[in-house]
Amino acid sequence: MEFKDYLTFLQKLHQELTELNTVEQKKIAAVQAGDLDALDVCMKQEQAATMSLRGQEQRRNQLLKQLGLEQVPLRELPRHAPAALRSETQQTVEQVMRAYQVLSSAQGTARTLMESDLRKIERQLEQHGTAARKSSEKGPAHTTDFRA
């Protein structure tokens, strides 16, 4: 296992984070448009990407162990890189960390929008339910006496 292999892994991880961010942006657009079909597609893609990222995390831990760097945080990785790869390592680490920050922000925005829309739907259902109860409590609008 060479350090260069780990950099290649990090570059692929960056790509996956970027792709997941694209899904999150589509998810935000779907929520804003009220497009439930598009939202469903995005959520399925997000779920698949999350599973993939879990697998990537396990792979990352294995690679770090092979390099003897399992206790080294990502931001400190350039200090532990071979001299010839420090610049590339720094750049790659920054890309991964930036992609993760952008993704976290997009996920937060999507979550907030979805929660907000859920609250609106709940209020509408409550209002509809209240209106239906009031209508049924009034009874029939006209009564007819059939005793003649």
The model's confidence at residue 115, banded by pLDDT at 50, 70 and 90, is confident
| CA 110 distance to own-chain centroid | 7
- pTM for the complete prediction? 0.76
Distance of alpha carbon 122 from alpha carbon 110, whole angstroms: 18
Q: Is the per-residue pLDDT at 112 higher than 50? A: yes
Write down all domains in the chain, each with its CATH number in brackets.
3-135 (1.20.58)
Q: Which residue has the tokens 């609106």?
A: 120
pLDDT at 135: 56
Task: Give tens-digit pLDDT for 15-46.
Answer: 999 999 999 999 999 988 888 899 999 999 99
Give the pLDDT of residue 127: 77
State the pLDDT at residue 146.
45
Q: Is the pLDDT of residue 101 over 60?
A: yes
Contact 69, 77 (CB under 8 A): yes
The three-state DSSP-derived secondary structure of the chain is: CCHHHHHHHHHHHHHHHHHHHHHHHHHHHHHHHCCHHHHHHHHHHHHHHHHHHHHHHHHHHHHHHHHCCCCCCHHHHHHHCCHHHHHHHHHHHHHHHHHHHHHHHHHHHHHHHHHHHHHHHHHHHHHHHHHHHHHHHHCCCCCCCCCC
Is the four-CA dihedral 58, 64, 68, 74 of positive or negative sign? negative
- Picking from 77-81, 99-103, 131-135, which range would have the lowest pLDDT averaged per residue? 131-135
More confident of the two residues 133 and 115 = 115
On the CB side of 122, CA atoms within 13 Å amount to: 6
69-97 tens-digit pLDDT: 999 999 999 999 999 999 999 999 999 99
